[in-house]
Chains A and B, each alone.
Chain A
């Protein structure tokens, strides 16, 4: 069994080892200020975890991300469904949602900074803003996909508003909502880093900034590496969530 597993994952492992080897060699051939090899990055990461405040900073970032993301979901999903339920409102709001959806949210950070200053709340707002529009946008998209006949049938069986939501609206919009959740996870992560870079500096963002200002290239690499891993992990999670609900979609 382990042998079969090994064989199945051999290309993955080989490519992983290959990539890390290239990193290692490139790091050894260039100056340490420019790039550090993988081994040095790992050692530095270990130092940061054991002697530095890596764990504390990580948890601080996680708190920011989770607060903003949960708020985005809690506001975005119901709001999206409400907007979608009333046809005139949905048609009316669609172009503006698209406009906001296509606007680079980062451009709003300086406004948030000068209005709300430093602190936890403005940063949560940034993460929230990055995450909420994919959720709303996709929920509205989902409600658009509901066939009017379904609602008609429900109506002709004298369905009330609540059963209509439970039996038609929710099951049909949920897969789309999950696409929104996946996108929101990715965007909120960008929002988290952007907030930590440009608002009060905390968490992993501060670790990178601090390391780069100290010309601690190894520290920069170590933190970027961890954030990359978090990104991959969250993206997997998002895809998994989306896939789980995709079966409902016709």
Chain B
């Protein structure tokens, strides 16, 4: 959004334009586009699709009921809790592994290509195997979430740990700092932006992992709520769930972006 000023038409001043101009140039087109998209969707569904298919008016009409439904809230809570748990585990294990790969030649040589293999693998193929291992249970969901998210963190932290300026480490070494302290007090803080970029990726992947595993395992959660309701032709109800998922996805991105700007203002967006 900040960079849209750069691309402003030639007659615009190079300084940030006043609020009224910004309203006219960004907010208005956005609102209009949004309305047009919603209208197109509404009309297309009314004309072409059977009545059970979700359209904006039906979704809005049903949303208050769904959002206050305790079952829906319980499902949402269960999914979010699983995602949070999985992400925390991924974060801890992934950061440690990433630091090792980034700072130790041996660890890099031994582990990197295996991490790469799992990172490139479409994560959901692991589901049938995990369901053999852990059964059709919430444990499989957690395992899938971790599998989906951890490698993004490992890769990014490793990149970050590799990019630590050598002078920092030299100074620490000349003060005879211990290796472990250097790792956690210099390398880790200095690779924070990379870590956050990894967390951003991992969050999206974790959410997908949770939804897919609920589809696959039929265990309670937002994903299963969507599956169940769309199977019984309650598309509008199910779509509220999709919107909530989208909101979580965007919300997480915004949160991580905000953290980056708030705590690492020197780190410019788009560098990773």
Indicate whether A18 sits within 8 Å of B125 (C-beta atoms), given known contacts A89-B33, A144-B3.
no
Q: Is the CB–CB distance between B122 and A227 below 8 Å?
A: yes
Which one of A43-51, A69-77, A209-217 contacts B? A209-217
Q: Is the CB–CB distance between B110 and A15 below 8 Å?
A: yes
Q: Is chain A's binding surface mostly helix, strand, loop or mixed?
A: helix
Which one of A166-174, A190-198, A242-250 contacts B? A190-198
Q: Nearest B residue to A88 by beta-carbon distance?
A: B29
Q: Is the CB–CB distance between B233 and A232 below 8 Å?
A: no
Q: Does B26 contact A (CB under 8 A)?
A: yes
Give the residues from 77 to 125 in chain B that come closer than 8 angstroms, CB to CB, to chain A.
109-114, 116-118, 120-125
Q: How many residue pairs, one in A and one in B, have C-beta atoms under 8 Å apart?
A: 164
Minimal beta-carbon separation of B224 from chain A (angstroms): 10
Q: Does B34 contact A (CB under 8 A)?
A: yes
Chain A 17-29 interface 0/1 with B at a Cβ cutoff of 8 Å (1 = within): 0110000000000
Within 8 Å CB of A224, what residues of B?
121, 125-126, 129
Distance in angstroms between the alpha carbons of A109 and B224 in the assembled complex: 12
Q: Is chain B's binding surface mostly helix, strand, loop or mixed?
A: helix
Indicate whether A107 sits within 8 Å of B121 (C-beta atoms), given known contacts A19-B114, A215-B132.
no
Within 8 Å CB of A194, what residues of B?
124, 212
Q: Does B198 contact A (CB under 8 A)?
A: no
Q: Does B220 contact A (CB under 8 A)?
A: no
Q: Nearest A residue to B37 by beta-carbon distance?
A: A96
Q: Is the CB–CB distance between B246 and A103 below 8 Å?
A: yes
Q: Nearest A residue to B254 by beta-carbon distance?
A: A102
Q: Is the CB–CB distance between A91 and B25 below 8 Å?
A: yes
Q: Is the CB–CB distance between A228 and B32 below 8 Å?
A: no
Minimal beta-carbon separation of B134 from chain A (angstroms): 11
Q: Is the CB–CB distance between B34 and A34 below 8 Å?
A: no
The size of the chain A interface, using a CB distance under 8 A, is: 63
Q: Nearest B residue to A221 by beta-carbon distance?
A: B129
Q: Nearest A residue to B49 by beta-carbon distance?
A: A115
Q: Is the CB–CB distance between A102 and B26 below 8 Å?
A: no
Q: Nearest B residue to A107 by beta-carbon distance?
A: B242
Distance in angstroms between the alpha carbons of A26 and B106 in the assembled complex: 22
Q: Is the CB–CB distance between B132 and A110 below 8 Å?
A: no
Distance in angstroms between the alpha carbons of A231 and B53 in the assembled complex: 35
Q: Nearest B residue to A194 by beta-carbon distance?
A: B124
Q: Is the CB–CB distance between A111 and B230 below 8 Å?
A: yes
Indicate whether A197 sits within 8 Å of B216 (C-beta atoms), given known contacts A148-B8, A228-B121.
yes
20 A-B interface contacts by CB (under 8 A): A16-B113, A91-B26, A92-B32, A94-B30, A102-B204, A106-B211, A108-B242, A109-B215, A110-B230, A115-B53, A148-B8, A193-B125, A194-B124, A197-B215, A198-B216, A212-B131, A217-B132, A220-B128, A231-B117, A234-B120
**Given A102-B249, A194-B212, 6 additional A-B pairs, CB 8 A:** A15-B113, A110-B215, A144-B3, A190-B122, A197-B127, A217-B129
List the 8 closest pairs (A to B, CB-CB), nearest first: A92-B33, A212-B128, A92-B29, A102-B249, A110-B230, A103-B246, A231-B120, A235-B120
